[in-house]
Amino acid sequence: MLWLCGLLRVRWGVLPRWAARVISDVSSFLLAMRDHIPTDFCRQPRSLTEIDRWKATEFRLFLLHCGPVVLKGILPDTFYKHFLLLFVASTILTDKNLSSKYTDYASMPVACFRMANVRPKRVHGKEFIGIKDPDHIR
């Protein structure tokens, strides 16, 4: 949500006019996917314009299933790779089989995800991470 509602310098880098088009493209893609989402999911994808009303299951659907497909080629590379770190860690940690085997591995993308905000070239800005000192991240 930071890239939609965060501080201006956090939203899509320095291209605010471009952001409106990207939000529209992602929203259209999500709405087009509705017919292809199995009924096993409690909720169908909704537009990003409604993100402030999304339920937890919708965020989960986006993070673990739709997001990697929808955002590829739309998000700038830095943001997309950062999203993929969260996706990989979340996928491992939410799957019983994977988490029992790869919990240690999952800590690596989590640490990288957090480090991206601490290094000089921050992805989202220091306001959105609780750790200010990179030495505390292990």
Q: Give per-residue pLDDT as tens, 45-72.
A: 999 888 888 999 999 999 999 999 999 9
- Say if 115 falls within a structural domain: yes
**C-alpha distance from residue 40 to each of 18, 59, 61, 70, 125 (Å):** 35, 15, 11, 20, 36
Instruction: Answer yes or no: is 59 within a domain.
Output: no
Indicate whether 63 belongs to any domain.
no
pLDDT of 15 above 70: no
Residue 104 within any structural domain of the chain: yes
Number of separate domains in the chain: 1
Q: Which domain holds residue 113?
A: 76-138
Count the neighbouring beta carbons within 10 Å of the beta carbon of residue 58: 20
Rounded-to-integer distance, Cα 36 and Cα 124, Å: 32
Q: Is residue 2 part of a domain?
A: no
Which pLDDT tens digit goes with each residue over 71-93?
A: 998 887 887 888 888 898 889 88
Residue 44 is assigned to a structural domain of this protein: no
Q: pTM of the predicted model, to two decimals? A: 0.71
- Between CA 106 and CA 86 the distance in angstroms is 10
**CB distance 42 to 26 below 8 Å:** no
